[in-house]
Structure 1
Amino acid sequence: MLLLKSIAFCCLCHELDSSVLFRIIEVLHSAYEAGHIQIADHISFFITLVSRLKVCPENIFPPNDSDATISNRGTFKLLTCMVCSCLSQMGDNSLLFLILERVIMEQLSQKPLLDNAYAMLRILVVLDAKPTRLSEKSIVTLSNFLTGYLLDVVHCIPEDDDNSVGSIRRHAQRYYFVPCFFLFDRSLKLLTLTLNMMGSLITESTSSPSHGYCNRCATDHLSRINAIASVLLSVHKEPKFQHVLSLLRTEIDCILQGISSVKTSEGSNLTTGERHRIQYAFDRIETTTRSFPQQMGM
């Protein structure tokens, strides 16, 4: 529907007041419920919004306070919630998932910005079930994407030793991690493949990373290793995954072996500080594995 496309592009305008944006969505959803809009057109409208509305500034914690005051990130979060709510009211979730799965996978393959990626992952979660409805092909595609997405989250929201700042950043990190946690909980294979991707990413050539998302995550071994350690620890902190990760000891051991390999092969080229950071990442992961039940690691 040409009119709906025109409305969607108007909604992408940053000058549009958020209250007007939300009112447009309410009116269009009412029109859909009254039978005036086809389901395919309505879904296309929602996907256009969450995939193409740009969040500014891209930096989640902008150094300039003035950038924070003009941010539309809060509006985008509300938009994501509203879209998910509307989709969940549109009928059979399994049918909607079947319609949207391929569309979202195509959108994710285009490496959207972090907030747009989060929105589409959350839509998947809302329409998915346990065990997952994802096809085998989508699980493979998604594992490739999530590897880079998770590392990008860590890169964009680095850890901080300051307790007050660190707490805010951990909360922000978890916000972006949560859809992944739901997807991992619904598919052990997805988590397994993602860990395998991380393991191979450690020793992959820094000049040509082939994995998934990685829009902004650093490409050097040192940054990758520390980011992977942070992701693993974040997953392990979730109570539901503490036992699950113990079942994946082999995959985690491969990550540890990869870190050791990098330290050995690049040892002479590393500064003392760099060697310390690699060892710190190794120790963090190894300490986590010590909490696994012994029989699971045998």
Structure 2
Amino acid sequence: MSRKTKHSKYLSIILVPHSTNEVKTIKVSSIRYKFYILSTLTLTTVICFGLYFGFLVNSNNRLKTELTQAYNTNQQQAKLLSEKAEQISAMLEKQDQYTKNISEFSNKYKQMTESYVDGNMDSITASRGSDSRSFITDATQLKSILENLQEINNSDNSIVNELSDTEAKLQTYIDSIPTLWPASGRISSYFGTRSDPFNFSEKNHEGIDIAASYGDSIKAAAKGKVTFADVNGNYGKCVIINHSNGITTLYGHASKLLVKEGQNVKKGDVIAKVGSTGRSTGPHLHFEVRVNGNQVNPIDYLDKK
């Protein structure tokens, strides 16, 4: 009975090597066996817990890093959105102001056309005779408005149809004013009293002389209808154009006429060639502007160079 109790206190481990036939037996007491098992379990538990704790720490650090990055990204996006919101607000404000300016310009344009063009078409000559410079200033302003309108039309098609009739009316009005220089060159003789080149006596010069080369183009200063195209005494070969509203222009001393009486011409059309026909001392263009048959200073009409 005692032998059996003694043997139960041990745990035998039998080792059978492959290389030899010798069998080895290792006896381990049950207390030590339990201690090894407990130690193994404890160590395994500690290792597993350590690995799990390390995993949790790494996961937490990774999440913390990701949260920090997300926060920073969110802050940057919030800042960017704030800046974009300010830019959009400024753009909308600018667009509103732009729309307001276009509306104001359109109203002023219509008002000026109705009150000036329509109201002065029939009385144009009266204002010219009393204050030519004021009239030309007004005409220049009208041209500037037309140019601005065309720029706006190119950038905003919504007002093209609305103002097209008004623009066409103003363009027609401006085209009938003799503002285009009929020839290229310097003014060799101005309007007013001058010394006659033939007898050197004081004489009134009823137009301006533009020095140019023989055969240079002579252009219509405004649109109108040719009322004369022939030889005209001291003027030599001459063209006269009626621009309506009592305004006519005369082009003298031409070498060749390119239009006929009754022909309609546009502003800038070539109507003749520079020459020295009639009472002339050399190639040049004698240009006159007449209001109700009276010669006035062409400089008050022509565009500023």
The two structures share one fold, judged by TM-score above 0.5:
no
Place the TM-score, normalised by the shorter chain, in its bin. under 0.3
Q: Tell me the TM-score normalized by structure 2.
A: 0.24
From the two aligned structures, give the one with the greater strand fraction.
2
Q: Tell me the TM-score normalized by structure 1.
A: 0.24
> For the pair shown, which has the larger CA radius of gyration, 1 or 2?
2
From the two aligned structures, give the one with the greater helix fraction.
1
